[in-house]
Structure 1
Amino acid sequence: MAIVFCGPTALNTVQRRRNGLSLPLHWIQIFAIIVILFLILMNYLTLCVNIPTHPWQWLNIVLTSLIILPFLFIFIRLAYIDPADDEVIKKSIGPKTNFDRRQHAHVITELYCHICSVHVTEKAKHCSSCNKCIYSFDHHCVWLNTCIGGKNYRLFLSMLSLVVIGTLVLFINSLLQFIGSFQDLSTSTSLLKLKPFYNSNQYAILMIPSSLIAFQVITAIIAFIAIACWGLTLYLLAFHIYLCYHGISTYDYVVNHRINRTVNQTLSQFNQLNQNHLSTKETELTPQKRRKTNHLELYKDNGNINHSPKSQVYTVEGNHRDSSQRLQTRQSLNQDGYILKNESKIHDGY
């Protein structure tokens, strides 16, 4: 799955990662590799060998190979590609430069990265996990242990598509064999009837002779893992199709979502503050003065939400560069000021 890290990471002594194969490997990446190898081996050495040789066995082998082989090529290619900005690649790999926020408000200012010490393209972002600027940054994927950006985004979508198709085929295959294992081998004429690899009582699990019960258990496990992977990957693929349709990246989506959420929370807080303030005022006013109180009229102008000029004025401003944002609300009637600042950090706010 796609993951955008939210928060600082201490990388003062970490070398820049070249690609997803650079050490150390992430534990989620190792887990993903184990699951992939498990499903592939189970497909060829369990599901493909306990069915009739003609035509189902060869059809199964050919169909799954048309999915697995391209997937493996893309998976290895994704892990091998260096998604960094070209200027970063040209520069020799070295340790991370310590970044001092007292000198610079952001890691990248005016398209210059103060950590990589190079000028980068407009959509480049500095990934704290990979410790380098990524060309047209989208997100950092812990399943691949590398960043997804302009250089590998299409490959990433292709891989997701193959995973969705492959896990669905694997689920259907394992489910049918699980159902077929309950058929009577001597009398059944069903198309789901299996043909144990060794004899009528011994099925092959990773080419190891196993009992019928063991085969049923392992096919049920394969079906469960396959449908779980299918659901998660389908959701992720649909999400990225949505992002492509709207022309935004995962990074932009997360930042905009945080800004909107913070603005809504701030407006809610100060609307409550305004109500409490008016209630206090009304208790101090005479009945005649209450009738003369101006009604509050809200209006929206250029994304700023204000009250009418005659009443308390609350202004919510989005002032951010990438992930930084500042929200300010001011009550102008009695010159009381209320300021709320929020620094959202995604990849250390780069």
Structure 2
Amino acid sequence: MNMNCFQRHLRRTAPVRGGSRNELVAPPLRSRVNGWSIPLHAFQLVAWLIYSYMAVVGFGVYIPLLPPPWSHAAYGVIGAAFAIHLVAHLAAVSIDPADLSVLARKNYSNPMPVLDKKKHPHVIHNLHCYLCEVDVGPRVKHCSSCNKCIADFDHHCKWLNNCVGGRNYWFFFVTVMSAALGILLLVFIILFVFVEHFLNPDVLRTAPQFQNVRENGTWLAFLPLAPLEMSSAGILTLAFITVMLAAASLLLLSHLLSFHIYLLIKKMSTYEYIVRQRHLQSIRELEGRTNQSTTTNGTSLQDLPPVEKSVECDTPLSGRSSALKYQDRGQISSRLSGAICTEMDNFKQATGDVEEGLYYESKMPKPTLPDEVVKADAVEGAEKPPDSGHANMASAEGVPVAQNQLGSSVATLTVQHP
């Protein structure tokens, strides 16, 4: 359907059916089920590698070096944080966040067209997705990465390799929070071991397995199940690498966690926040271009002199008598022509200080004969205007009558004598 309003074509907000559909989408692909769908993202692999590294180093090297009862407390608190993170991470990756209408179809095995953002930015119109071919809710967005509609869409997380929506958002939030808490506590443990290694190393050598170690420069890892000898330099180097990696992870996790806490307070999603920021940025750019243009011209609207309005020649006639309606063009108001305005100016100069009034009538004037015009002019003592032969001007009792060019109204000038 081609819409037209005042000869302006409106932009389509959704793909049209038919042959043009192939022009808006890329070659069809299968939709992703969850974060385990192939291909896996590199960030997803990095996240699991960092988690595994922190778990092995923390529970295998540094927590066993703590003296009791601190070692038992560390096993319990940090172990709970890592366990909660593991469960929440697996749930956030494994849950399918698609809309219920998409889940009801379960057609992931069939290829589906992929939205091409370069040719069309949106695919949902009037709560209907033209690619998934289902009716969706008001907060649903079609994810181009997962190639399906996501319920209560928040964002597509590369670390999870899955979309974050209403069905798995809280699992995602707990994943971030537990990861930040677990890494922070592990950093405190490593820093304690690092300091005590130089100040009082006997505090870290309380495990029974250290009784068989004769040299103080030899340390044991993976206590108590599989003791493995390590050098003092190895313990310190591993601690430095772990702290640097943990600091980088904490920087990202704390920023992400604080951002989502802010969104929860504002009751917004990540997608809504990004859309709002883009809108504000476009407004700032528009204001900047406007200010720059004003500065370049050297003048502003406030510095311009006031414009005198011409009431006689610019005021539209009454709507009943002079408004013409055209189909698909709205309402057009007629205005006094330049010839009539000239006659009115001449009339003002002739009358001097005499008060004058302008009014509009819908009645046609009474025909006036040329002889009567001459007699009226003689009685009043007024000179006959040089333009008396004009087709649109006649006078009765010394009062000019202006005939509207549209033929539907008459503008009469009445002179009141003192």
TM-score, normalised with respect to structure 1: 0.71
Whether 2:285 is the aligned partner of 1:271: answer no
Aligned amino acid, residue 222 of structure 1 = T
Q: For 1:85-123, what per-residue CA distance to the aligned partner results, in whole angstroms no more than 9, with x for missing partners? A: 011112211222255899977300011111111111110
Whether 2:79 is the aligned partner of 1:59: answer no
Cα gap change, 1:212/1:108 in structure 2, threshold over 3 Å: closer, same or farther? same
Distance in 2, Cα, partners of 1:143 & 1:247: 24
Cα gap change, 1:121/1:66 in structure 2, threshold over 3 Å: closer, same or farther? same
Of 175, 179, 183, which residue of structure 1 is paired with 2:195?
A: 179
Distance in 1, Cα, partners of 2:256 & 2:91: 20
Conserved? CA contact 1:49–1:204, under 8 Å: no
Larger radius of gyration: 2
> What is the Cα deviation at residue 183 of structure 1?
3.0
Aligned amino acid, residue 190 of structure 2 = S
Q: For 1:259-294, what per-residue CA distance to the aligned partner results, in whole angstroms no more than 9, with x for missing partners? A: 111111111112211332355x99xxxxxxx98724
Cα gap change, 1:72/1:99 in structure 2, threshold over 3 Å: closer, same or farther? closer
Cα gap change, 1:69/1:141 in structure 2, threshold over 3 Å: closer, same or farther? same
Cα gap change, 1:48/1:100 in structure 2, threshold over 3 Å: closer, same or farther? closer
Conserved? CA contact 2:85–2:178, under 8 Å: yes
Of 150, 169, 175, which residue of structure 2 is paired with 1:159?
A: 175
1:171-210 correspondence to structure 2 within 5 Å: 171-185=187-201, 193-195=204-206, 199=213, 200-205=216-221, 208-210=228-230
Secondary structure of 1:19 counterpart: coil
Cα gap change, 1:271/1:292 in structure 2, threshold over 3 Å: closer, same or farther? closer
Q: Corresponding residue for 2:95?
A: 81
Whether 2:261 is the aligned partner of 1:261: answer no
Whether 2:51 is the aligned partner of 1:36: answer yes
Identify which range, 216-225 or 23-32, moves more after superposition: 216-225
Q: Corresponding residue for 2:152?
A: 136
Whether 2:28 is the aligned partner of 1:16: answer no
Q: Corresponding residue for 2:400?
A: none
Secondary structure of 1:259 counterpart: helix
Aligned amino acid, residue 92 of structure 2 = L
Distance in 2, Cα, partners of 1:100 & 1:216: 52
Cα gap change, 1:134/1:292 in structure 2, threshold over 3 Å: closer, same or farther? closer
> What is the Cα deviation at residue 241 of structure 1?
1.1
Show structure 2 runs of 5+ residues with no match: 1-24, 308-418
Conserved? CA contact 1:167–1:226, under 8 Å: yes
Conserved? CA contact 1:11–1:96, under 8 Å: no
Distance in 1, Cα, partners of 2:75 & 2:279: 50
Conserved? CA contact 1:99–1:114, under 8 Å: no
Of 60, 85, 108, which residue of structure 2 is paired with 1:71?
A: 85
Conserved? CA contact 1:183–1:193, under 8 Å: no
> What is the Cα deviation at residue 246 of structure 1?
1.1
Conserved? CA contact 2:26–2:115, under 8 Å: no
- Of structures 1 and 2, the one with the larger relative CO (CA 8 A, separation 6+) is 1
RMSD across aligned C-alpha pairs, in angstroms? 2.8
> What is the Cα deviation at residue 46 of structure 1?
0.7
Aligned amino acid, residue 139 of structure 2 = K
Equivalent residues, number: 272
Cα gap change, 1:11/1:39 in structure 2, threshold over 3 Å: closer, same or farther? farther
1:218-257 correspondence to structure 2 within 5 Å: 218-257=238-277
Secondary structure of 1:97 counterpart: strand
Cα gap change, 1:272/1:219 in structure 2, threshold over 3 Å: closer, same or farther? same
Show structure 1 runs of 5+ residues with no match: 1-9, 187-191, 283-289, 296-350
Aligned amino acid, residue 151 of structure 2 = Y
Conserved? CA contact 1:180–1:194, under 8 Å: no
Whether 2:41 is the aligned partner of 1:26: answer yes
Q: Percent identity?
A: 29
